[in-house]
């Protein structure tokens, strides 16, 4: 199974600050087509299901504010939240679907400092 390791496990950022979450994969999740990475980012707020933020490593889902961005390829990925807002408090998960079973990172909890 592909293991996704997120860092840090939690971080506290001031309102308006930047949050950076890393996700490292135990093997490449670059699709066989070599055109995209099979890596998504989800946001999960308390008591809610996960919500897709970023797909194919760097494409923002429709309706997601542009302060959220994804980058990386192969085995190393980053989710960046610029100008953190109070409503961004949540747990963020990376997820790969290149191999079966699909797997998730352990989650990163983002709080307001």
Partner 1 sequence: EVQLVESGGGLVKPGGSLRLSCAASGFTFSETWMSWVRQGSGKGLEWIGRIKRKVDGELTDYAAPVRGRFTISRDDSENRLYLQMNSLKIEDTAVYFCVTGLGKGDLDFWGQGTLVTVSS
Residues within the interface to partner 1 (CB under 8 A): 38, 40, 42, 48-52, 55-56, 59, 61, 93, 95, 97, 100-107
* Complex with partner 1: residue 19 or 57, whichever CB lies closer: 57
CB of 16 to partner 1, least distance (A): 29
Least distance in angstroms from the C-beta of 32 to partner 1: 15
Of 84 and 105, CB closest to partner 1: 105
CB of 4 to partner 1, least distance (A): 10
Cβ nearer to partner 1, comparing 1 with 15: 1
Handedness of CA 97, 69, 7, 35 (dihedral sign): positive
E-assigned strands of 1-113? Answer: 4-7, 10-13, 19-25, 39-44, 51-55, 59-60, 68-73, 76-81, 90-96, 103-104, 108-112
Structure-token match 């308006």, residue found: 16
């Amino acid at each position: 199974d592909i293991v996704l390791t997120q860092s840090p496990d939690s971080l506290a950022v001031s309102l308006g600050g930047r949050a950076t979450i890393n996700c490292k994969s135990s093997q490449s999740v670059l699709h066989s087509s070599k055109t995209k990475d099979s890596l998504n980012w989800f946001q999960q707020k308390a008591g809610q299901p996960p919500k897709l933020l970023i797909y194919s490593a760097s494409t923002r889902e429709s309706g997601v504010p542009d302060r959220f961005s994804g980058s990386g390829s192969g085995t190393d990925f980053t989710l960046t939240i610029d100008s953190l807002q109070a409503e961004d408090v949540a747990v963020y998960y990376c997820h790969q679907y290149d191999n079966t079973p699909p797997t998730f990172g352990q989650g990163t909890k983002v709080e307001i400092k």
